[in-house]
Amino acid sequence: MPFPRASGILLHPTSFPSPFGIGDLGSEAYRFIDFLVESAQQLWQILPLGPTWDCHSPYASYSAMAGNPLLISPEILQNKGLLDRESFSKLLEFNSETVDFEQVIRAKTPMLRRACENFQAKATTVQQQKFETFCQNQSSWLNDFALFMALKEAYGGASWNTWEHMIAKRQQEAILQWQQRLSTDIFYHKYLQFEFFCQWSELKHYANQRGIQIIGDIPIYVAYDSADVWANPENFCLDRQTGLPALMAGTPPDFFSTTGQLWGNPVYNWEQLQQSGFKWWVQRFQSILNYVDVIRIDHFRGFEAYWAVKQGETTAENGEWIQAPGKALFEFLKAELGFLPILAEDLGEITPDVEALRDYFEFPGMKILQFAFGSGIQAEKRFLPFNYHSNCVVYTGTHDNDTTVGWFNQLSPQEREEVLRYLGCTSSEGIHWDLIRLAHSSVANQAIIPLQDILGLDTSARMNFPGTSKDNWGWRYKSADLTQEVCKHLRTMTETYDRAPIPSELKGR
């Protein structure tokens, strides 16, 4: 079922302002929700919320179902009486424009440890019961995740396949021994997930009560070094001897890469997953729907057919396409969960079969305006609005693109002229608003704009440079950036193109 006409903003929570070096779920998150409401938006899109690897990419997580403890707000912990003023006395001066993840980890970890200790010592009977209920409700993944994280710390961060054989293979005797040995750390990681869930649930409730729906993100694959693979090896194509991926995920060679992309994630053992009634996938969708209202599926084409590369290959050249049971999976999810609030990331080389799978379930696809302009194969006219149908989502750009200002400035003079001619502009001043107007005025049911574009920022505010591992994911805005002028301009555009929420007194007429 298509979604109603609306618009929103793409912004990951790490980008919020805060005095703790990274955006969190405290007061600035609520202020951002207020900005969405005041500017007549109805959608807030985020990136995956999981606890990240050393690269700090939201798409490289230790769990497909857990939350990132770095997003926990120390302010809220203080309001709960779990941190005192002394906990903030030696707080460092952080860069307000970007996240220094290592510095943040050093500063926040002791605070989170202290909050956990205080929770154990001071929690009321009601709070203890709430914690126990959470642990019971999330036991399908939480117990394995908490043990996995405690083990990683005990092994100095080493990948699970290098642990002692008995625990790497999850032999019951070893699990019981480690559970006893690491009981304090296991409790700590369960508490962090409980606190994250409480803070996020309150923020989501605040958003939903004000008419804001949250769009989350499911990467199709999970990281090899994750609780998901360690706890459920039968769900993945792993080598029985080494435990390493027998088949690795990626994409074949194309115009942009002569050797393709070798991601290294293990591909799924779809036969086993199907035999189990897609149990793991049902748990994954149920888990993320606790956090969000709508799900964007990253690399949707992999549910129709996926590129698989054998272990030992160093590039993605020698892979093969293998069919995936995407239709059976989504049929099963629909039977289990009802209506599937899914957006399909259908970018890249998309075949008619992928389009057929998307359209069979009426999942909206994605349109990126930046992809519509340029020269050669990089310019795809299917991304121009006159080629849209209404059941799609239009973006100026995504987290993987440059900002609109940065993108426009890097075009050749001829390409810039082409963009201005299409937009009917005589000047590039305010180019970000011109592209936003093009998105909002299109027939696409949903228009989502990165906050960087609404603020008119250049390449220095880019969130991610695909194919690189440094200096990504760190951009933050300042509280003063959300001005009344910006809010009014966005609201006017939203109302002009009929994307504003319907006033409550007019609903049902």
Is 353 considered catalytic here? no
Question: How far apart are alpha carbons 433 and 455 in whole angstroms?
Answer: 9
- φ/ψ of 415, rounded to 5, equals -65, -40
Catalytic residue among 38, 100, 298, 317: 298
Question: How far apart are alpha carbons 408 and 308 in whole angstroms?
Answer: 36
- DSSP codes of every residue in 263-322: EEEEPB-HHHHHHTTSHHHHHHHHHHTTT-SEEEEETGGGGTEEEEEETT-SSSTTEEEE
Catalytic residue among 313, 400, 415, 495: 400
Residue 288's CB is within 10 A of a number of other CB atoms, namely: 18
466: left (phi over 0), alpha (psi -120 to 50) or beta: beta
Is 345 considered catalytic here? yes
Residue 235 structure tokens = 């769900």
Question: How far apart are alpha carbons 88 and 107 in whole angstroms?
Answer: 10
Count of alpha carbons within 13 Å of 89, Cβ hemisphere only?
Answer: 4
Residue 459 structure tokens = 């390449």
Question: How far apart are alpha carbons 54 and 399 in whole angstroms?
Answer: 19
Residue 394 structure tokens = 């239009």
Question: How far apart are alpha carbons 363 and 346 in whole angstroms?
Answer: 10
Element (H, E) at 377: none
Catalytic residue among 345, 346, 434, 453: 345
Residue 65 structure tokens = 């179902």
Is 349 considered catalytic here? no
Residue 82 structure tokens = 């779990």
Question: How far apart are alpha carbons 382 and 387 in whole angstroms?
Answer: 6
Question: How far apart are alpha carbons 69 and 197 in whole angstroms?
Answer: 10
- DSSP codes of every residue in 132-163: HHHHHHTHHHHHHHHHHHHHHHHTTT--GGGS
Element (H, E) at 423: helix 413-423
- Tokens 């036991």 locate to 139
| Catalytic sites, residue numbers | 298, 345, 400
